[in-house]
Amino acid sequence: MYRRMVVLVEDQDLLRSLVASVLESAGFQVSTAANASDARRIIDSVDPDAVVLDIDLGDGPTGLDVADYLASRSNEVAIVFLTSLSDPRFAGRDMNAVHPNAAYLNKHMLSDTKLLVDALEAVLNDRDVAAFRHDKKSDRPLANLSTLQIQVLQLIAEGKTNQQIANARGRSLAATESAIKRTLKALDIDVSEDINARVVAARQYMEKIAFPRKSDN
């Protein structure tokens, strides 16, 4: 019987080994990569049926860049994102612009490995992936913020001034100050109180983006 080929892209050694074992036990043939460069090379070599992608791959290109490469190469490869990033907008991307038919699983919400196998089956067979889109959950961090507000919040967290944010977004200072006020309001931060609203906003962002640096310890 034909064993479907899956490329697993994950930079954490232990997790990569564990997930590969789960997929192999489910009947898949698995090749693994620890970074985007290796992923592209292996994808070209094995021509996979599906790719399971982490987004944060350490320094250099991300899993989203690998997804872009897949899109430029073929639209036949099924994609499952398996990531600690609760929302791809925190990485500056919208899922519909990356791969609208991909599944998106948050590692922290993956209590049962069967969910990963079920997600793979769904994307491989062009079934509805709504149950496998953790980035669409209403209770995900900062779900109430618009894409614009997330962009503004990221720039605040980077320590940018209002003028620098305006320059980065190509908008007027007045429009930017209005966007910042709306963003702070969406975060329930009262700018009239005697607190540094920007520091509070930056702290909320860093606490909620769920994009930790990983180690093998």
CATH architecture assigned to 147-208: Orthogonal Bundle (1.10)
Q: Side by side, which strands form the sheet with 5-9?
A: 29-33, 5-9, 50-53, 78-83, 103-106
Confidence band, pLDDT 50/70/90 cuts, at residue 214 = very low
Tell which CATH classification among 1.10.110.30, 1.20.1050.10, 3.40.50.2300, 3.30.40.10 matches the domain 5-136: 3.40.50.2300
Supply the DSSP string of 42-67, one letter for each residue: HHHHH--SEEEE-S--SSS--HHHHH
- In which residue are the tokens 């697993």 written? 8
Predicted model pTM: 0.78
- How many CA atoms lie less than 13 Å away from 34 in the CB half-sphere? 10
Distances (CA, A) of 77 to 19, 88, 162: 19, 20, 42
Question: What is the rounded average pLDDT for all residues in the chain?
Answer: 87
- Give tens-digit pLDDT for 186-196: 888 887 765 68
* Alpha-carbon gap, residue 102 to 80, rounded angstroms: 6
* Alpha-carbon gap, residue 77 to 56, rounded angstroms: 20
Q: Where do you find CATH 3.40.50.2300 in the chain?
A: 5-136
Phi, psi at residue 128, to the nearest 5°? Answer: -60, 130
- Give tens-digit pLDDT for 90-103: 877 766 666 778 99
Q: Are 119 and 132 in contact (CB under 8 A)?
A: yes
